[in-house]
Amino acid sequence: MIDSTREPEPALAATLFGDRIEPARAYTSALARRGVELGLIGPIELPRLWTRHIINCVLVAPLLSPGRVADVGSGAGLPGLVLAIARPDVEFVLIEPMERRVEWLESEVHELGLMNVEVVRSRAEDATVLPAFDQVTARAVSALSRLIPITAALARSGGELLLMKGEGVGREIDAAEKAVRKARLSNVEVVTLGAEFGTEETRVFRATVD
């Protein structure tokens, strides 16, 4: 059996996290130790936690501006906790409806001593009571046609959506044409990250909410 807690950390992780590499290591090893038992990740993910998940998420960090960010459907903390570790200058609210996942997120925030994270147990649709956010992130929550309305509703006017997507993002955008119009999105683009580091690419649907 592979001991995932000994998965070698790619040298790239130290470059991308800089002086935040220690909390990144602590989070990744906690996720490797407890993630499967808590139903946060499948066992198949263990040997590729760094490459497929942690690095995939931290690549988005340079797209964030100082301000307030909502991460919808954080689950294990992807990308919300990873980004909060990498960007202590940004305030994060992790919005997650499942109790067990909320408990995990809260315990990690405590363990890692993160001062820039709040965890809210809610569906995104019910979180519109929160003050509007400057940026909204999400990863692996749902297709854009459903994700755009629920994330755009959380953003302030002039705020931004940063929705992490797979290779099929082009097809998803075509299918979400009505949602894009209804949410009054502009500057719609797909940002591809990671190529310069020779790592697996991360695609981000980025748009401004008018």
Ligand X SMILES: C[S@@+](CC[C@H](N)C(=O)[O-])C[C@H]1O[C@@H](n2cnc3c(N)ncnc32)[C@H](O)[C@@H]1O
- Which string of x and - marks every residue 151-190 that binds ligand X (by CB under 6 A)? ----------------------------------------
Looking from the CA of 117 toward its CB, the CA atoms found within 13 Å total 27
Q: What pairing do the DSSP bridges indicate for beta strands 155-165 and 133-139? A: parallel
Q: Closest separation between CB of residue 78 and ligand X, Å?
A: 4
**One of 32, 78, 83, 84 touching ligand X (CB under 6 A):** 78
Is residue 98 close enough to count as binding ligand X by CB under 6 A?
yes
**One of 22, 33, 43, 140 touching ligand X (CB under 6 A):** 140
- Which string of x and - marks every residue 18-47 that binds ligand X (by CB under 6 A)? ------------------------------
User: What secondary structure does DSSP assign to 70-137, as a single string?
Assistant: EEET-TTTTTHHHHHHH-TTSEEEEEE--HHHHHHHHHHHHHHT-SSEEEEES-GGGGGGSPPEEEEE
Binding-site sequence positions for S-adenosyl-L-methionine: 73, 78, 124-125, 139
Q: Which two tokens stand for residue 51?
A: 């490459």
Is residue 195 close enough to count as binding ligand X by CB under 6 A?
no
**One of 72, 119, 179, 183 touching ligand X (CB under 6 A):** 72
Q: How many Å apart are CA 57 and CA 53, to the nearest integer?
A: 6
Q: How many Å apart are CA 130 and CA 29, to the nearest integer?
A: 32
**One of 30, 102, 117, 124 touching ligand X (CB under 6 A):** 124
State the residues that interact with ligand X by CB under 6 A: 72-76, 78, 95-98, 101, 123-125, 139-141, 150
